């Protein structure tokens, strides 16, 4: 492990075990300046090299052939043309004749050209020449990952109940609707541990409030749910409503805890409630203050949260919005030819998440005034850190579930993440699969995607196939957006098939939680690309739609509509376990090599490695009912 310092990097606190600064010249990467960027790092890639890493991002497990940008973005359209999502995870691993890992620790923008302009070249470019670079080599990919994980610290450990099944929608609008959803799960025998509350449980979308008209019996609701082993998990957003008389806003304003504009005034942006102020999450005092806000819900018995809109997502800034209003009048009075039409269209589309807005407000970070765009990628990390640190102060004996949308390496010590506002697309089911090992490398172990897809309209077969993957991911949550079809599993004709798959998840929890804890304790992964475990197998190295889960099993889910079978490659002899719902209906030894395997809807195939075993629990309706001491071993 070698650490190099360039310029005057801003401390991110991503790394907790820093090696001494290396004063020798960097030999693994060439370092240069060009006309576009003040600092570039480059290396040549061999034809067979795989480039792993970059955590949450689009495309494959092997990142070669595309241009990626670390710039946390509120963008629900996760298509192949995107360059960044909600997170910045600046770790890459070159796997081939060498095993070379590099972490670029800087909170600003980073551009990764992974064989995009030249397929045999990796170029990492920084618009600001301030960065700490960590270079690590080992005799295997996993050795490099372990070395990296040891310097960034142990991953967050979620409560066991957080491995249960969760149901969410934007939004369940009343206490009675929450009760109805839980009742339908219990009456249909569908296991459930978590019911998520999106923004409409709040009073006018204000953080740390309850809507008195629709959730006036919130305390009683929490108690009722606990009696049924249901954990309510409310959302918390980054913006604090600018409203006179709102206690939390008044407190933040009085103490100067909000981000400021260039004149030292509170910077006003639009989020769900309208005009809001952004807590200065990078200011130690403000971060502690915001974390203490969770006490309002903790005191009501809440023990799980999800942080959202913390890139931060901006619908508008009040200043820029006024500029747009002024410009609209000019367009209204003239002819809209093609050029003026597209100018007008760009004006409208540029209101949200405007880059000029991100360069218009400031933080008080470690006693220095820092412009937001210089530390943009830290905001979500520090918001979630504020919550985690508060839990340790306020409820030190309570296990609290926490996950976030936006993140940076380092946040993995405080929480998990979900993979953002995906769509009900088959391609996003595959992206969910491919993102798991990339996130694990960067320390994010408690993670998963919105099952069935958040946006767009899901289908029954997509829901079944996505559940068949989701039963293996630590975070297993069914979530859908306002305006889409309700996708609670009891609403489908195939409810019995879906119920059986969710029951199988509960049978798998002892195995999954053991694999999760091992990944934490040993600084390794829970989801492995086949090539990392079978590095000499050239076929295994090319496969991206099969993963090892823990040390013992392999999965190969179906991710194409109307497919009833698929090709599966076994790098070694394995035993195939076929489950129809939660019931094991077939055990079949298979030899190393290529197989074409039937996988009808409602059936899940698990492949147990030679010399390994899978432990299974009995079917239960919640994690609290699991008997961890009496398991069936296959």
What span, in angstroms and rounded, lies between the C-alpha atoms of 281 and 389? Answer: 12
Q: How does the average pLDDT of the chain come out, rounded?
A: 97
Distance, in Å, from the CA atom of 405 to the CA atom of 502, rounded to the nearest integer, reads: 24
Provide mean pLDDT across the span 505-525.
Answer: 98
Percent of the chain clearing pLDDT 90 (strictly above): 97
Percent of the chain predicted with pLDDT > 70: 100
List the structure tokens of 415: 């929480």
- Distance CA(570)–CA(129), nearest Å, equals 46
**Which residue, chain included where needed, has tokens 């795989």?**
50
> Domain 2-152 maps to which CATH number in 3.40.50.2000, 2.60.40.1760, 3.50.50.60, 3.40.50.720?
2.60.40.1760
Beta strands, E only, 309-424: 316-317, 362-365, 368-371, 401-404, 407-408, 416-418
For residues 404 and 381, what is the distance between their CA atoms, to the nearest angstrom?
Answer: 8
pLDDT, position 453: 98
Domain borders along the chain are 2-152, 523-633
* Distance in angstroms (rounded) separating the CA atoms of residues 503 and 500: 5
Do residues 313 and 353 touch, judged by C-beta distance below 8 A?
yes
Helix (H, G, I), strand (E, B) or coil at 332: helix
pLDDT of residue 144: 98
CA dihedral 428, 434, 437, 443 (to 10 degrees): -30
Other C-beta atoms within 10 Å of 352: how many? 16
Per residue in 556-610, pLDDT (tens digit) is 999 999 999 999 999 999 999 999 999 999 999 999 999 999 999 999 999 999 9
Model pLDDT, residue 349: 86
d(CA 354, CA 335): 26
Rg, the chain, Cα only: 24
Of 269, 281, 270, 254, the C-alpha closest to 13 is 281
Pick from 529, 374, 522: nearest CA to 52:
529
The DSSP code for 58 is S
| Averaged pLDDT, 161-173 | 98
Show the beta-strand stretches assigned E in 117-273.
121-126, 131-137, 165-169, 194-197, 231-237, 240-241, 268-271
Among 263, 257, 262, 278, smallest CA distance to 364 is for 257
User: pLDDT value at position 243?
Assistant: 98
Say if 2-152 and 523-633 have the same CATH topology.
yes
CA nearest neighbour of 52 among 100, 12, 107: 100
Band the pLDDT of 536: cuts 50, 70, 90. very high
**For residue 93, what are the contacts with CB-CB under 8 A and spacing of at least 6?**
51, 52, 53, 99, 100, 101, 141, 144, 145, 441
pLDDT in tens, 21-74: 999 999 999 999 999 999 999 999 999 999 999 999 999 999 999 999 999 999
Cα→Cα distances 125→38, 129, 188, 341, 377, Å: 8, 9, 54, 35, 16
* Omega before residue 609 within 30° of 0, cis: no
User: What pLDDT is attached to residue 329?
Assistant: 84
CB 361 within 8 A of CB 267: yes
First to last CA, the chain: 41
Instruction: Give residue 618's pLDDT.
Output: 98
Give the whole-angstrom CA distance, residue 291 versus residue 395.
12
Instruction: State the pLDDT confidence band at 332, using cuts at 50, 70 and 90.
Output: confident
Per-residue pLDDT band at 264 (split at 50, 70, 90): very high
pLDDT of residue 334: 82
CA 18/CA 7 separation, integer angstroms:
17
pLDDT band at 333 (very low <50, low <70, confident <90, very high): confident
Which pLDDT score is estimated for 600? 98
DSSP secondary structure letter of residue 237: E
Q: Which one, of 153, 114, 108, lies nearest residue 129 by Cα? A: 108
- CA-angle at 416, arms to 286 and 114, nearest 5°: 100
Per residue in 270-291, pLDDT tens? 999 999 999 999 999 999 999 9
Cis previous bond, 194, omega within 30: no
Q: Which residues contact 303 (CB under 8 A, 6 or more apart)?
A: 159, 231, 395, 398, 399, 400, 401
410-459 per-position pLDDT tens digit? 999 999 999 999 999 999 999 999 999 999 999 999 999 999 999 999 99
Indicate if the pLDDT at residue 266 is higher than 90: yes
Q: Which CATH architecture has domain 523-633?
A: Sandwich (2.60)
More confident residue, 119 or 330: 119
132: three-class secondary structure by DSSP? strand
| Rounded Cα distance, 77 and 349, in Å | 14
Q: What's residue 489's pLDDT?
A: 98
In the predicted model, is pLDDT for residue 540 greater than 90?
yes
Cβ burial, residue 136 (10 Å; 0-12/13-18/19+): buried
Is the peptide bond prior to 299 cis by the omega test (within 30 degrees of 0)? no
């Amino acid at each position: 492990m070698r650490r190099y310092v360039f310029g005057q990097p801003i401390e991110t606190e991503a790394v907790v075990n820093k090696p001494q600064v290396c004063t020798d010249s960097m030999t693994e990467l060439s370092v240069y300046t060009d006309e576009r960027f003040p600092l570039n790092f480059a290396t040549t890639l061999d034809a067979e090299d795989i480039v792993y890493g970059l955590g949450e991002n689009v495309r494959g497990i092997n990142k070669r052939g595309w241009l990626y940008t670390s710039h946390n973005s509120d963008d629900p359209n996760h298509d192949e043309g995107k360059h960044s999502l909600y997170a910045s995870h600046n770790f890459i691993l070159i796997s081939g004749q060498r095993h070379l890992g590099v972490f670029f620790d800087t909170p600003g923008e980073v551009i990764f050209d992974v064989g995009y302009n030249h397929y045999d070249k990796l170029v990492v470019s920084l618009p600001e020449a301030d960065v700490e670079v960590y270079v690590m080599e080992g005799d295997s990919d996993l050795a490099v990952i372990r070395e990296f994980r040891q310097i960034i610290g142990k991953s967050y450990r979620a409560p066991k109940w957080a491995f249960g099944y969760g149901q969410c929608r934007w939004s369940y609008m009343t206490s009675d609707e929450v009760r109805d959803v839980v009742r339908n799960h219990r009456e249909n025998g569908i296991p459930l541990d978590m019911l998520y509350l999106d923004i409409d449980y709040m009073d006018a979308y204000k953080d740390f409030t309850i809507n008195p008209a629709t959730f006036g019996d919130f305390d009683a609701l929490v108690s009722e749910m606990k009696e049924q082993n249901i954990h309510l998990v409310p959302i918390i957003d980054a913006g604090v409503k600018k409203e006179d008389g709102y206690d939390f806003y008044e407190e933040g304003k009085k103490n100067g805890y909000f981000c400021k504009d260039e004149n030292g005034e509170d910077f006003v942006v639009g989020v769900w409630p309208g005009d809001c102020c952004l807590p200065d999450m990078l200011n130690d005092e403000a971060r502690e203050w915001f974390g203490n806000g969770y006490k309002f819900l903790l005191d009501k018995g809440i023990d799980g949260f999800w942080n959202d809109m913390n890139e931060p997502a901006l619908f508008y800034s009040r200043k820029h919005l006024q500029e747009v209003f002024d410009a609209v009048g000019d367009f209204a009075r003239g002819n809209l030819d093609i050029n003026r039409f597209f100018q007008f269209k760009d004006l409208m589309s540029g209101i949200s998440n405007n880059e000029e807005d991100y360069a218009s407000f400031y933080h008080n970070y470690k006693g220095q005034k820092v412009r937001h765009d210089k530390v943009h990628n830290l905001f979500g990390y520090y918001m979630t850190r504020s919550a985690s640190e508060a839990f340790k102060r306020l409820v030190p004996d309570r296990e609290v579930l926490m996950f976030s949308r936006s993140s940076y390496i380092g946040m993995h010590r405080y929480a998990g993440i979900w993979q953002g506002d995906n769509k009900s697309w088959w391609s996003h089911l595959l992206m969910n699969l491919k993102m798991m090992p990339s996130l694990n490398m960067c320390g994010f172990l408690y993670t998963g995607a919105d099952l069935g897809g958040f946006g767009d309209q899901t289908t029954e077969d997509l829901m079944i196939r996505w559940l068949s993957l989701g039963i293996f991911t630590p975070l297993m949550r069914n979530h859908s957006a306002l305006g889409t079809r309700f996708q609670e599993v009891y609403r489908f004709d195939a409810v019995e098939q879906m119920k059986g798959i969710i029951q199988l998840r509960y049978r798998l929890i002892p195995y999954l939680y053991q694999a999760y804890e091992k990944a934490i304790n040993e600084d390794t992964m829970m989801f492995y690309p086949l090539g990392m475990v079978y590095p000499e197998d050239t076929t295994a190295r090319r496969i991206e739609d099969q993963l090892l889960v823990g040390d013992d099993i392999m999965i190969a889910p179906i991710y194409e509509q109307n497919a009833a079978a698929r090709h599966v490659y076994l790098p070694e002899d394995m035993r195939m376990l076929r489950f129809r719902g939660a019931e094991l209906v077939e055990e079949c030894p298979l030899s190393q090599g290529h197989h074409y395997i039937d996988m009808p809807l409602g059936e899940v195939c698990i492949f147990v490695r030679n010399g390994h075993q899978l432990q299974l629990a009995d079917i239960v309706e919640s994690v609290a009912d699991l008997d961890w001491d009496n398991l069936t071993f296959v």
